Every structure is written in structure tokens, then in C-alpha cells.
Structure 1
Amino acid sequence: MVANIEQPRQTVTDLIYDRLYRQVIENELPPGTKLSEAEVARTLGVSRQPVRDAFYRLSQQGFLLVRPQRATLVAPISVEAVMQALFIRTALEVATVMAAAEQGTDEDFDRLDALLEEQGRAVQADDRMGFHRLDDELHRQICALAGHEYAWTLIREHKAHMDRIRLLSLSFTAHDALAEHRAIVGAIKARDADAAVAAIRHHLSRIAGSITRIHQTNPGFFDQEQI
């Protein structure tokens, strides 16, 4: 009999961190937004210490600028951090699509097709957050059917800076992203590893063009020293 393994309970700091992390990534708190420990604590009905701890964690990841005796700000988007995340993600996903093309089963492919259908409905409904979640799920499933689900854990840990760009770009890239997902899945189903690698590289590389376009309309969102 396998004993149940209890998951560690989230602390107040964890909950505050998760909330602020999501708001920054989803651009509910855009770059330059001022944050106050006292105001966040009052809004959430908590003491200032867990808020301070959450601020520190987010600052260590490059999402907040904590300045002594001055307002804490949501950090600008770092192009350098985005490109570092892209490098890591591309290396891992190239390996997983190759493995998926070699060992995926018909049942695996049916799950991917079902996700593509859901993505199509999300695009039609202009449900950007829904599409984003389904996008992540497709990539996670590819890692899983390749036998390397732990790779998605690593990708998720590093892709947050990419997500700030991805979520801003979905107003003009969702249709293209869906077409690229279909190409990736099509190559995997055809067991054509080379085509799958080419498709995933093309899909992930488009973020550079998205950075340029978003910067044209929202120049204040970026670290100007990196543009």
C-alpha cells in the first residue's frame, strides 16, 4: 500500500506571491505600476510581513523593483530575460518533440487533437486567457507523451518573462499560434522528428517579432537600456 503524500500547505506569503505573480504576468499590473506594502496588506487583510516577503521573492525573479524609502514598482519587461528563457525553452522543447514523434501513441495524438479543437474555439471566442492556458497544456502534454514531463516543470520555472510578452501579443498572434500548433502536432503524428523540430523552432522564435511590435505600441513597458 502506497502512503498518501501530503502536499505542503501554502503559507500566507505563498498566496500573496501567487496573486501578485499572476497579476504581473497577465499584465493586470503593468510595468511601472506602484505597489505599497501597506496598501496590499490592507486590501488582502493581512499583516505587512508576508507582503514584504512576497515582494522580495518577486524582486529576486526580476518582476518588482523594491527601492528603500521609495515606492515599489512593477519592473519593466527585460528583453534579456525573455531571450534567456527562450534559449532554455527551445533547447528542452526541441528534445521533447523529437521524442514525442518517435514514441507517441494514437491515444496520445487524440489528446493533442482534442486540445487543438479547444484552442480553435478559444480563438473564435477571442478568449485570450483561455487560449493561453490551452497553449500551455498542449506543450505540457507533448512533454508528457515524450516521457519527459519533468521538462515542463523546468520550462514553467523559466518561462514567466516570456509569458509577459505572449499575453500582450495574443491580440494579434493567436491565429498564427494555433496554425503553428497544428503544424507541430501534424509533424509529431507523422512521426517526422525533423519537421517537428523545425515547427517548434519556428513557433518559439516568433517572440522576437512580438517584442518589436509590442515595443512600438507600449515603449514604456520595456527596460529601455535593452532596446
Structure 2
Amino acid sequence: MQNITLQDQTYEKLREMIIKTDLYPGQKISESKLMELLGVGRTPIRESLKQLKKQGLVYTFPQSGTYVSKIDMSQAVHSRFVRECVEKEVMVELSANMDKKAEQRLQVILDDQKVEFEKGNISSYHDLDNEFHRACYDIVGKGQIWNWIKEFSVHLDRFRWLHLKNITFDYNPILEEHKELLRAIKSKKTEEVKDLIVSHIHFMVRSQSNIIEKYPEFFLEETVQDLNEAHYDIL
């Protein structure tokens, strides 16, 4: 059980490092450096890399090595669509079932997010963004659905991190949108709840081109071309 737990921890840490570009798109991976950095043996590193390969986050080039995959914008588009469709219904259900305990749970997350913003801790601020949404799913008994979404939304999450880091952290829109969403949920204004969650999930669309132009080497070129040709708004 201890080895399994260690492997799970190693996998989650490597996954987070890829999302937050500590391991950046296109970077060659050194197993020995990861072992030293994470303080684990070769087995959990290799097993974690196998899991990440199945998710399309790393790939092996014969006689060259293992590399971090580039961001797949097609996957990001599909993930955004699924999350938007599901989350509207989750938030409406939450509005119908909100009680004082649930309200307090969500308010604590928002209070913590405010603290992390004031401290300039972008990583914890990002994690609390996810925690707010995860808690909403969990409150209405749909935590497993959040876990499913998390697994296939990793390319969307990678883009969201770049957007937060480069565009929105300084003026803090995520926390303000969370506050507005919680207010509408408490007031049971279901149409406003739907509108707010759609706006929240799409809030990065204005910077889509800017992010891709700033980090062209981070993205799969063919998926960016497909995005431009289809005129998709990814978020």
C-alpha cells in the first residue's frame, strides 16, 4: 500500500509540474533529475511516466528520450465544451440544495483564495480555484464527475495556467467571479447562475491569441491551425 501511495503522489506531482510548466512543453525529461528533485526511486518515476504517457502528456522518441508533450488545443476545446455543459447543471442543482454548511465551506475557500492573492502566491491561488469548483460538485454528490473531468481536461488546465500566470492574476478576476457565482447560487437565481458559469469558463477567450503568440513553441502547431480554421473559442 505504501508503494502505491508513493507512486500516486509521484504521478500527481509530475502532472502538476506539467500543468504549471515546471516541466515545460517540449522539455526532455531526465529520470535521474526527477528522482533527485522528488526524493523517490526510479520505479515510481517510471510508473508515473507510463500513466502520463497514456494521458498524452509525455511521449518517447526512439533513441532520443522522453519529452513533455505540447499543448493540444483540440483537446482543450473538447474539454471546455464538456465542462461547460456539465457545470451549468451542477451549479443549478447546487442552487436548489444550498444550505448553511455548504455556504460556509465555499466561503472558506474564497477567503483562502483572497489571502493567497494578497500574498502573491499564484500556485495556491490556482489550486483554490480548482478546489472551489471541486467542492461544488462534491456538495451535490457529484465529486466523481469532477474527477473524470479533471483527468481529461489536462490540456485545458495547461492553457488556463498560462492564462492565469500571464494575463489575469494581477487583477484577480477569478475570485471576483467566484463571489458573484456564490451570491447567485445563494439567491437561487438559476438563469443568472448559468450565465455566470458560462462567462467564467469562457473568460480567457480574449487572451487566446495572445497566449499562443507568446508561447508558440508550447502548442501543437496542427491543433492551433485547426483552431484558427474552425474559429473556435476554447474557453
Give the alignment's Cα RMSD to 1 decimal.
2.3
Hey, what does 1:3 align to over in structure 2?
none
Please state if 1:116 is matched with 2:113.
no
Aligned to 2:63: 69
The letter of the residue matching 1:178 is: L
> CA-to-partner distance for each residue in 1:48-83, whole Å, 9 max, x for gaps?
x55443323212211112111112211111111111
Which structure 2 residues correspond to residues 151-170 of structure 1 after superposition, within 5 A?
151-170=145-164
1:15 and 1:138, CA in 2 relative to 1: closer, same or farther beyond 3 A? closer
**Aligned equivalent of 2:141, options 142, 147, 156:** 147
Q: Which residue of 173, 191, 194 maps to 1:194? A: 191
Scaled by the length of structure 2, the TM-score of the pair is 0.83
Distance in 1 (alpha carbons) for counterparts of 2:52 and 2:8: 11
CA gap of 1:50–1:139, structure 2 versus 1, over 3 A, is closer
Query: Secondary structure in 1 aligned to 2:181?
Result: helix
Distance 2:115 2:32 in 1: 42
Residue of structure 1 equivalent to 2:219: 222
| Cα distance in 2 for residues equivalent to 1:122 and 1:40 | 28
SS of residue in 2 equivalent to 1:66: strand
TM-score of the two chains, using structure 1 as the length reference: 0.86
Bigger mean CA deviation after superposition, 115-124 or 57-66: 115-124
For 1:209, the aligned partner's letter is R
- Which residue among 30, 41, 46 is the counterpart of 1:46? 41
Q: Where do residues 196-211 of structure 1 align in structure 2 (5 Å cutoff)? A: 196-211=193-208
Could you tell me which residue of structure 2 aligns to residue 101 of structure 1? 95
Structure 1 contact 55–66 (Cα < 8 Å) conserved:
no
Opposite residue 103 of structure 2, the aligned amino acid is F
- Preserved contact between residue 165 and residue 207 of structure 1 (Cα < 8 Å): no
Distance 1:141 1:12, change over 3 A: closer
What is the DSSP-based 3-state SS (H/G/I as helix, E as strand, rest coil) of the residue aligned with 2:4? coil
Per the TM alignment, residue 189 of structure 1 is displaced from its structure 2 partner at its CA by: 0.8
Identity score, percent: 27
Q: Which among 32, 42, 50 is matched to residue 56 of structure 1?
A: 50
Following TM superposition, by how much is the alpha carbon of 1:123 offset from its aligned partner in structure 2, in angstroms?
Answer: 1.8
Equivalent position SS for 1:21: helix
Aligned residues: 220
Aligned partners of 1:119 and 1:134 also within 8 Å: yes
